[in-house]
Structure 1
């Protein structure tokens, strides 16, 4: 029996200027707690890893801005230039890239598999006992 077809997952920024869809199941969903993700996304960044062929920008390319950090950091951060919503890093240059789960309008059908960079958690943030694997690193990509 063939698996059920994947229903596209829609996403957008807060103001609706940037809209996209995922046409294939994301590879994973994880949380990053490094200081750089926290500064860009809030408490932590929930990130979906997607294949380039499964991502389709529907509108708003002209609104997407990118922040490229100085070395040694390497992760470019994409966001809507109008409302500031994080988008992850949709890219034509990479076969796999992160998309901000906070930008999703629909359920992606995957659940979190990892809390990464937990050693960078501020003292005031307590993680739930959710059974999700944890990795201590403190990377600030």
Structure 2
């Protein structure tokens, strides 16, 4: 009985020692830095990373898009996207749509300020989804009414 109690005590001591060593060895490691966005023309250059991701995901949902539908493929890293590139023409269309959403909300709903801040905080009455409803192209006519 004494041996099992001693083994448990030594095992516990070993675990505490390993955890203490691990915490000391990782204390000086710097946290990973989020990628700083480049080539922003409508969104603010100092946009919060989480706000940028929320806006991009909302665009994807509103148009049933994936990231690669607006962002060009990387020429240096196969399988990756080059988020800064303007090679994909859909990216400019998206920028123009952001400008349009901001203009409509400013003129007709008196919403002032940054596109990003208003979009993230749900201050816009008209958004991408208002027209697109999860489709790449807005409907040109209302759906037929079922009788």
TM-score range, shorter chain: under 0.3
Greater fraction of residues in helix: 2
Structure showing greater Rg: 2
Q: TM-score, normalised by structure 2?
A: 0.23
Q: TM-score, normalised by structure 1?
A: 0.23
Greater fraction of residues in strand: 1
